[in-house]
Amino acid sequence: MRASTFRRLLNLWPPFLFNSIRLLSLDDGYTEARVVLRLRPWNRNYVRTQFGGNLFAMADPFWMLLILHHLGKDHFVWDKAGSIDFVAPGREDVYAHFKLEQGVLDELRAAAANGEKVLRWFDVSIKTAAGDVVAVVRKQLYVRLKPRNR
């Protein structure tokens, strides 16, 4: 699927649409994505800052989606674990930038080539427009060659 079409569809996905999360850009090679979480009255917490669940949600699917696009139907790519470290209150719109390096893809393919499961952690910082870190989200991915390809 073309990156521009995928971006439009993801922006209509209810968990993103109703929580003011938008995929701003996705490059044609599926190696780089930029996401924004707009601060709105309906997604603020009790102390009027970004709701932590939305901070995690804005970062949740992207490492898996980017890697799955590259490894394709020959591999399982699943989220295994995740964590979030809240660094500062989010009192404004926040952004996440995902950049997938070719070397990481090569490492994953090589590690999974014998059919063994591969677990790898990926991090992304969630920042304000000025570059101040609000949170760091860690996601652990499970990658494995499908049985028919082992």
Mean pLDDT of 64-87: 96
Largest pairwise CA distance in the chain: 52
Domains of the chain: 3-149 (3.10.129.10)
The answer to whether the CB of 74 falls within 8 A of the CB of 145 is: yes
pLDDT band at 1, cuts 50/70/90?
confident
The answer to whether the CB of 139 falls within 8 A of the CB of 100 is: no
pLDDT at 120: 98
Query: Is residue 150 scored above 80 in pLDDT?
Result: no
pLDDT at 149: 83
The answer to whether the CB of 143 falls within 8 A of the CB of 77 is: yes
Looking at every residue in the chain, the average pLDDT score rounds to 96
Quote the Cα angle for 139-96-12, to 5°: 90
Mean pLDDT of 14-24: 96
Q: What are the tens digits of pLDDT across the range 90-106?
A: 999 999 999 999 999 99
Q: What are the tens digits of pLDDT across the range 2-18?
A: 999 999 999 999 999 99
pLDDT at 139: 98
Look up residue 147 and give its amino acid: P
Mean pLDDT of 26-40: 97
**Axis-axis angle for helices 102-112, 62-71 (nearest 10):** 70
What are the DSSP E strand ranges found in 6-132? Answer: 21-26, 32-37, 75-86, 94-99, 118-128
Predicted TM-score (pTM) of this structure: 0.93
pLDDT at 71: 95
pLDDT band at 53, cuts 50/70/90?
very high
Query: Taking Cα atoms as reference points, which of 47, 64, 50 lies closest to residue 21?
Result: 50
Share of the chain above pLDDT 90, in %: 97
- Tell me the DSSP string of 4-29: HHHHHHHHHSHHHHTTTEEEEEE-TT
